[in-house]
Amino acid sequence: MITKLDHIGIAVSSLEEASKTYRDVLGLKDHGVEVVEEQKVKVAFFPVGDTEIELLESTDPEGPIAKFIEKRGEGVQHLAFRVDNIEAALDEMRTKGIRLIDEKPRYGAGGARIAFLHPKSTGGVLIELCEREG
């Protein structure tokens, strides 16, 4: 069902500041910045090998990333696994008794269809399932 680690999501207070580490220190290149209104975030993806680093800055003090940083500080916020069929993956998670944050897939950055599993069901790690082309 899972085909790869699609990306690692990192909550940051400033996309511009945090990008310096990935761009200038680590020498990675991003695809540019995208705003995802629905999730109240501004994101930048840095491909690295077969996966990517996603930096997320909140666009709203009430947004999930702002709340995460308030509680736990900046840092790794979620792991995203690529799936071929997100509806089937969500059904399987339900069958396995996993608590879902998203009962239905929603749209994420880059036109991906995504859904989050509740960290209470997954050992404290926020897991995103992600279906995308290519």
Residue nearest to Zn ion according to CB distances in the complex: 9
Within 4-43, which residues bind Zn ion (CB under 5 A)?
9
**Rounded to the nearest whole angstrom, what is the least distance from the CB of residue 109 to Zn ion in the complex?**
7
As a whole number of angstroms, the distance between CA 35 and CA 112 comes to: 13
Q: Backbone phi, then psi, for 124, in 5-degree steps? A: 85, 0
SS3 assignment, position 125: coil
DSSP string, 50-97: TEEEEEEEESSTTSHHHHHHHHH-SEEEEEEEEES-HHHHHHHHHHTT
Q: Are 20 and 107 in contact (CB under 8 A)?
A: no
**Rounded to the nearest whole angstrom, what is the least distance from the CB of residue 54 to Zn ion in the complex?**
5
Q: Are 93 and 44 in contact (CB under 8 A)?
A: no
Of 54 and 57, which CB lies nearer to Zn ion in the complex structure?
A: 54
Of 81 and 92, which CB lies nearer to Zn ion in the complex structure?
A: 81
Within 73-112, which residues bind Zn ion (CB under 5 A)?
80
**Rounded to the nearest whole angstrom, what is the least distance from the CB of residue 9 to Zn ion in the complex?**
4
Stretch that binds Zn ion, among 30-38, 52-60, 61-69, 83-91 (CB under 5 A): 52-60
Residues at the contact surface with Zn ion, assessed by CB under 5 A: 9, 54, 80, 128
